[in-house]
Amino acid sequence: GRRLLDVGTGAGFPGMVLKILVPSLDVTLLDSLNKRLDWLVETCGALGLHGVRTVHARAEEKSHDPAFREQFDAVTSRAVAELRTLCELCLPYVKVGGVFLAMKSVDSDGELSAAGPAMEALGGRLEAASDYEIPGTEVRHRVVIIKKFAQTQKKFPRTFAKIKKNPL
């Protein structure tokens, strides 16, 4: 019964994989390109997956919709943006007590330290940063886990132009 939002889902990773691993998970896949989402709808049908919703929207705009704002137990994102930007795009979706899982490179130490003030301003706090190896490979990645401890102010996220020009 938990709700997960995958922001900038692309080909559905990690959202689709998590749905396959945890069938009870209610998954929403959000992307700005409808062509990707059409493919994911077809893929869900072919796999017989239920409880997956696709949403065609820009992350910074959809998070102001009350049906989406602070409604998710977990939000994931992979290969979308630098961590300060990613926090502003994703933390408004996470309900207080929930988590934001950012998939980053193992070389993201600089991003991680620079994102502290952004996390705090958006109601989040770093819980952990864990490196892992993809099974069967020597490829290493990092998941940054940010716990949501307070509501995000309504002024966030700002327009993407403002986020890009002046990151938190």
pTM of the model: 0.94
Question: For the chain, percent helix, then strand, then coil, each to nearest 5?
Answer: 30, 30, 35
| CA–CA gap between residue 146 and residue 94 (Å, rounded) | 10
Using CA atoms, how far apart are residues 100 and 91, in angstroms rounded to an integer?
7
Q: Is 1 exposed, middle or buried (0-12, 13-18, 19+ CB in 10 A)?
A: exposed
96-151: pLDDT as tens digits:
999 999 999 999 999 999 999 999 999 999 999 999 998 899 989 999 999 999 99
Kindly tell me if the per-residue pLDDT of 68 is higher than 90.
yes
| pLDDT value of residue 100 | 98
pLDDT band for 1, please (50, 70, 90 cuts): confident
51: left (phi over 0), alpha (psi -120 to 50) or beta: left
